[in-house]
């Protein structure tokens, strides 16, 4: 180890004084003090001398530390409650050897330009520096820097304003082949720099209520671009016109490397870049790591199990990015993962607009939401649907009318059935092919007797419907695991000022939970049976025919009338309760767990183990843009103790335990669309569900993505066969990435082994190019298309609360008369209604700098494909999506109810521009 370290240190000329590379790629021992600069060595070493190279540049002797860029310090590993880090293959690579001195050669002039990002806060107001890395023609196996350490850096004259291209001509040895550029952003210690930096720090505070930021407001609304934090966002560096992509923040007093734009597998890396590639990964591994969901308490580091804000660690659950659980950087993710200015501004703007709409459309509901924080819960409910509609959607200030109430008869069986195949949770419906497939709460004989007259009119029987693939189910009986704790410990006073709590049993732990509800709630465990009725009125859409709301309760049947005056309110209420269970399952499992949480696990492993030079890094990273940041915000505001989810969804403080329960059944293979459809018995080949828009639109998108990914993977690994299998096996970064990704799901693997499955979590093979393409396609599908399908429809269907209520206040009145008043009495109170509407309206909003799947790059894009062949593959993918777009629009033209959430292209045809002013389109990543 010592000789390797000495060789590496000599080769890089990387540190001054007593700073050794050995200190860099070993983590600090537990309890070690936080480092300043690079392991105690300041980057602000005074300049010793200056040497003018030409009229546009000068070389500075710094005695400054060269790349490796300064490590972002963190809490020592021993203080983090998680499993030990797996061995990292990249750390075992041998260090390079020192190159012999180059022969005397002439100098050549190169043109270097730096392109600053488009965001208003991307620039800096001072000079910056850089050096180049590569190798000499006579010694291609080495990786050196120029100017060498004794000669310092080249200087770039600032200021660097957004969307500018600044650089000049610089001289390097004629035989030096440039493979990378290291940028250095010095701290601006001038009086003006200190003033603007202090002002920016003062303003750079998030307003969690509105999701905004005061610095954003100053820059965006008032044009105060001269206020800079000293942090510099660089798109790329041009060296004689060749792009070296960066797409990263160069923080003040830190440096960042830009590699050549050509993609290389680790085994194909140009010799002059091998150890630079290695060192950048070591830096990333210190910046990125896993943490369990142990930060949902309030505050996140709350360990007092008897406090109202305590929540136990979710186990099993996917791990997320390591964050501080206390202090000024609470839940702060790495800078490269944070929302940029326009995204933060739009996010805050949409949230504020929606909140103001809620307050002004029904001031009483807003006032009661405010006083409820003081333990005061006056009774205030909408007594009729007419009152609800008038106050919320028809006032001087009002919410936009959701799609389900504007274009559909929301109470009808057809509308209910359509939402099971094209609504917020279209992956819940499953085929009932035999008695054994029925939900556990439904008895075959009871169901047969109840449905015999209805099925006879369709010319079939219950067994015949099963055999013919015409019977389906929505099964939420898994909620029985939580029914006792949710329903058994509710305070049933509708008017209470009691600020105390009640003791509940939380999966083996006693937790004291403060009463947080303005009204009591009841958790039902419904199961619904749907039938594909041949009546042309239903257009092949399955319709509900029987509902069991709880075990050992009567089976409910009915049929909606042509209008609300003639409808069966008992039946309508039963359907609403089914959709209440669907609402929680969608938000906690389908949406948050499978799209948000599981995508972040991919991103952490990707950042830790794949170099920017790796072709899979370039393919995958755009599909995880902002995912880490939106998840961090959600842990603070939405899914934390007493957050939006707990205070508005029926499971209350058990909401995230429901999510963790759903994770027990997660498997990466099942997240592939064709596999999931087949497992539920509703794939196209089964002949089931002739009208299933989510499946039919989704498979066109899946096929396009899989063809694109397969072509891209084969570009770098070769076609299917022994040669490509060898390249996959020898790709150390890919193997480390796959191992690290599985480590992020280690809690599920352990849980399965401890609960009757000794083989643990089953993973797909990673041997062939088709294996790799299927895995990458699944990740991209989930992050883009699946998230689009289950997120951007939320306001259309959940925005009209009686259609898809987040909570139910009371138990279904079995054996009693149910009318409109009864129906409204079980709906959430107005304050909860507008809270949910505010959240879902914000969640379906798109930013002006949103990146859409397959679109051509714009000024906001992070476009990593610089190889001509890769660019051509991406262009073919875009063309393929254009064709898919036309096919899906044609399908919508012939459908009575259009399905818009898997239209790939931004600006797609929109039946109601008020609901989506940006037009439809599939964002690249989970970013909202």
User: DSSP secondary structure string, 871-914?
Assistant: HHHHHHHHHHHHHHHHHHHHHHHT-SS---TT--STTB--S-TT
What is the reported pLDDT for 275?
84
Residues paired with 528 in a beta bridge = 474, 547
Tokens 């196209």 label which residue? Answer: 684
pTM reported for the whole predicted model: 0.86
CATH H-level, domain 107-139+148-194+213-260: superfamily: PLAT/LH2 domain (2.60.60.20)
What is the reported pLDDT for 11?
33
Q: How many CB atoms neighbour CB 275 within 10 A?
A: 23
Q: Kindly state the tokens that stand for 907.
A: 């600006």
What is the reported pLDDT for 120?
76
Long-range CB contact pairs, 194-200, < 8 A, 24+: 196/125, 196/226, 196/227, 196/228, 197/228, 197/229, 197/230, 197/252, 199/227, 200/227, 200/228, 200/229, 200/230
What is the reported pLDDT for 409?
92
Q: What is the DSSP letter of 39?
A: T
What is the reported pLDDT for 105?
64
Residues paired with 41 in a beta bridge = 38
Strand boundaries in 21-161, DSSP class E: 49-54, 57-61, 107-116, 128-136, 139-146, 153-156
Residues of the chain below pLDDT 50:
1-100, 208-211, 490-518, 917-918
Q: How many CB atoms neighbour CB 506 within 10 A?
A: 18
Residues 6+ apart with CB under 8 A from 12: 21, 66, 67, 68, 143, 145, 275, 279
CA distance 660 to 317: 6
Q: How many CB atoms neighbour CB 729 within 10 A?
A: 12
Q: Is 649 within 8 Å of 844 (Cβ atoms)?
A: no
Q: Kindly state the tokens that stand for 781.
A: 């599908």
What is the reported pLDDT for 398?
78
Strand boundaries in 308-422, DSSP class E: 320-321
Residues making up the chain, counted from first to last: 928
CA distance 619 to 864: 8
Q: Is 139 within 8 Å of 102 (Cβ atoms)?
A: yes
CA distance 566 to 823: 14
CA distance 26 to 30: 12
Q: Kindly state the tokens that stand for 144.
A: 């050196």
Rounded alpha-carbon distances, angstroms, from residue 468 to 292, 538, 688, 884: 46, 18, 9, 31
Residue among 657, 663, 673, 670 at smallest CA distance from 601:
663
Which of left, alpha, beta for 450 (phi over 0: left; psi -120 to 50: alpha)? alpha
Radius of gyration of the chain from its Cα atoms, rounded to whole angstroms: 30
CA end-to-end distance (rounded Å), the chain: 46
Dihedral sign, Cα of residue 766, residue 771, residue 776, residue 780: negative
- At 55, phi and psi to the nearest 5? -70, -20
């Amino acid at each position: 180890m010592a000789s390797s370290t000495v060789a590496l240190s000599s080769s890089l000329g990387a540190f001054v004084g007593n700073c050794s590379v050995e200190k860099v790629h070993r983590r600090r021992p537990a309890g070690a003090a936080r480092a300043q600069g690079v392991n105690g060595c300041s980057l602000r070493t005074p300049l010793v001398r200056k040497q003018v190279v030409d009229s546009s540049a000068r070389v500075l002797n710094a005695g400054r530390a060269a790349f490796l860029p300064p490590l972002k310090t963190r809490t020592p590993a021993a203080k983090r409650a998680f499993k030990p880090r797996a061995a990292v293959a990249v750390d075992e690579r041998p260090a390079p050897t020192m190159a012999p001195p180059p022969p005397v050669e002439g100098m050549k002039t190169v043109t270097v330009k730096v392109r600053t990002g488009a965001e208003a806060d991307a620039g800096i107001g001072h000079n910056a520096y850089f050096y180049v890395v590569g190798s000499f023609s006579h010694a291609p196996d080495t990786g050196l820097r120029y100017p060498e350490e004794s000669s310092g850096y080249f200087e770039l004259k600032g200021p660097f304003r957004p969307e500018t291209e600044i650089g000049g001509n610089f001289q390097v040895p004629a035989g030096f082949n440039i493979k990378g550029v290291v940028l250095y952003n010095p701290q601006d210690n001038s009086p003006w720099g200190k003033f603007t930096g202090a002002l920016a720090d003062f303003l750079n505070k998030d307003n969690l209520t509105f999701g905004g930021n005061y610095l954003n407001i100053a820059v965006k609304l008032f044009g105060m671009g001269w206020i800079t934090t000293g942090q510099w966002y660089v798109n790329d560096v041009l060296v004689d016109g060749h792009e070296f992509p960066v797409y990263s923040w160069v923080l003040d007093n830190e440096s960042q490397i830009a590699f050549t734009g050509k993609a290389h597998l680790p085994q194909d890396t140009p010799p002059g870049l091998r150890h630079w590639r290695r060192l950048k990964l070591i830096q990333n591994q210190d910046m990125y790591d896993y943490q369990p969901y142990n930060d949902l308490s309030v505050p996140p580091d709350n360990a007092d199990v008897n406090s109202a804000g305590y929540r136990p660690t979710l186990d099993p659950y996917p791990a997320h990015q390591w964050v501080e659980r206390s202090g000024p950087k609470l839940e702060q993710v790495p800078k490269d993962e944070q929302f940029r200015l326009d995204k933060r501004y739009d996010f805050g703007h949409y949230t504020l607009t929606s909140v103001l709409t809620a307050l002004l459309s029904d001031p009483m509901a807003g006032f009661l939401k405010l006083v409820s924080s003081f333990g005061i819960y006056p009774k205030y409910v909408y007594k009729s649907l007419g009152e609800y509609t008038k106050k919320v959607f028809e006032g001087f200030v009002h919410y936009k009318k959701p799609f389900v109430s504007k274009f559909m008869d929301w109470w009808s069986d057809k509308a209910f059935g359509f939402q099971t195949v094209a609504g917020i949770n279209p992956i819940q419906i499953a085929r009932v092919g035999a008695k054994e497939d029925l939900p556990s709460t439904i008895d075959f004989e009871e169901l047969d007797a109840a449905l015999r007259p209805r099925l006879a009119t369709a010319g079939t029987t219950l067994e015949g419907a099963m055999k013919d693939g015409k019977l389906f189910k929505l099964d939420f009986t898994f909620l029985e695991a939580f029914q006792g704790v949710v329903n058994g410990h509710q305070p049933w006073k509708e008017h209470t000022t009691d600020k105390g709590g009640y003791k509940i049993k939380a999966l083996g732990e006693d937790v004291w939970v403060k009463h947080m509800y303005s009204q009591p709630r009841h958790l039902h465990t419904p199961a619904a049976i749907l039938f594909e009725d041949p009546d042309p009125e239903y257009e092949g859409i399955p319709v509900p025919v029987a509902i069991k709301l709880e075990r050992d309760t009567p089976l409910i049947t009915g049929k909606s009338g042509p209008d609300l005056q003639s409808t069966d309110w008992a039946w309508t209420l039963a359907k609403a309760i089914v959709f209440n269970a669907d609402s929680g399952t969608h938000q906690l499992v389908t949406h948050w767990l499978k799209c948000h949480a599981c995508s972040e696990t991919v991103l952490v492993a990707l950042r830790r183990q794949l170099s920017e030079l790796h072709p899979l890094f370039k393919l995958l990273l755009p599909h995880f843009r902002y995912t880490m940041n939106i998840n961090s915000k959600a842990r603070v505001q939405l899914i934390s103790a007493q957050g939006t989810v707990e205070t508005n969804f029926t499971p209350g403080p058990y909401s995230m335990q429901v999510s963790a329960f759903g994770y027990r059944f997660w498997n990466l293979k099942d997240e592939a669309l064709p596999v999931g459809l087949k497992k539920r018995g509703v794939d196209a080949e089964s002949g089931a569900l002739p009208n299933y828009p989510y499946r039919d639109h989704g498979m066109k998108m899946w096929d396009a993505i899989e063809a694109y990914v397969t072509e891209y993977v084969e570009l770098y690994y070769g076609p299917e066969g022994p040669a490509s299998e060898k390249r996959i096996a020898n790709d150390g970064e890919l193997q480390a990435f796959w191992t690290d990704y599985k480590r992020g799901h280690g809690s599920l693997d352990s849980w399965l082994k401890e609960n009757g499955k000794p083989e643990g979590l089953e993973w797909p093979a990673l041997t062939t190019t088709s294996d790799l393409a299927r895995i990458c396609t699944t990740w991209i599908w989930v992050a883009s298309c699946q998230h689009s399908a289950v997120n951007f429809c939320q306001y259309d269907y959940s925005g009209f609360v009686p259609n898809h209520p987040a909570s139910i206040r009371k138990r279904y009145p079995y054996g009693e008369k149910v009318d409109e008043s009864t129906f409204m009495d079980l709906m959430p109170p107005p304050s909860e209604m507008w809270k949910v509407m505010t959240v879902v309206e914000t969640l379906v909003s798109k930013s002006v700098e949103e990146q859409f799947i397959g679109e051509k790059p714009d000024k906001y894009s992070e476009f990593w494909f610089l190889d001509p062949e890769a660019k051509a593959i991406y262009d073919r993918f875009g063309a393929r999506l254009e064709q898919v777009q036309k096919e899906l629009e044609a399908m919508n033209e012939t459908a009575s109810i259009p399905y818009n959430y898997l239209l790939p292209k931004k600006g797609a045809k929109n039946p109601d521009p008020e609901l989506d002013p940006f037009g439809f389109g599939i964002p690249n990543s989970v970013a909202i």
